[in-house]
Amino acid sequence: MKLNNVMLITGATSGIGKALADHYYKKNYKLILVGGTKEKVDILKKKFKKNILAIHADLTKPSDIKKIVRESINKFKKIDFLIANAGLYEPDKILSGNPDRWDRVISVNVTSVFRLVNLVLPHMKKNKFGDIAITSSISGHQAIHWEPIYSASKHAIQSFAHGLRTQVAKNNIRVISIAPGMVMTELWDIDPIKNKKYIDTMIKKGNALDVKEVVACFDFAFSRGRGANIRDLVILPTNQNL
CA 62 to chain CA mean position, Å: 18
Secondary structure element (H or E) that encloses residue 33, with its range: strand 30-35
> d(Cα 240, Cα 36) in Å, to the nearest integer?
30
Number of neighbours of residue 120 by Cβ within 10 angstroms: 24
Catalytic residue among 25, 89, 150, 198: 150
Predicted local confidence at residue 103, as pLDDT: 97
Which residue has better confidence, 115 or 196? 115
Residue 110's H or E segment, with its range, is none
Q: Residue 108 and residue 223: Cα distance in Å, rounded?
A: 28
Q: What is the pTM of this model?
A: 0.95
**Mean pLDDT, the chain, integer:** 95
Find, among 74, 70, 80, the residue nearest to 31 by Cα: 80
Given this model, what pLDDT does residue 2 score? 56
Mean pLDDT of 131-158: 96
* Residue partners of 6: CB distance under 8 A and separation at least 6: 29, 30, 31, 32, 72, 76, 78, 79, 80, 81
Q: What is the pLDDT of residue 87?
A: 96
Q: Which domains does the chain have, with CATH numbers?
A: 6-182+211-235 (3.40.50.720)
Question: Has residue 240 got a pLDDT over 60?
Answer: yes
Is 198 an annotated catalytic residue?
A: no
Helix (H, G, I), strand (E, B) or coil at 216: helix
pLDDT at 177 over 70: yes
**Beta strands per DSSP E along 96-231:** 130-135, 173-180
Amino acid in position 125: K
Check whether 1 has a pLDDT greater than 70.
Answer: no
Q: What is the pLDDT of residue 52?
A: 97
Instruction: Count other Cβ atoms within 10 Å, centred on residue 231.
Output: 14
- Give the tens place of pLDDT for each residue, 154-166: 999 999 999 999 9
Provide the pLDDT for residue 197: 92
160, 114 in Cβ contact below 8 A? Answer: yes
CA dihedral 223, 225, 229, 232 (to 10 degrees): -30
Q: Is residue 10 pLDDT above 90, yes or no? A: yes
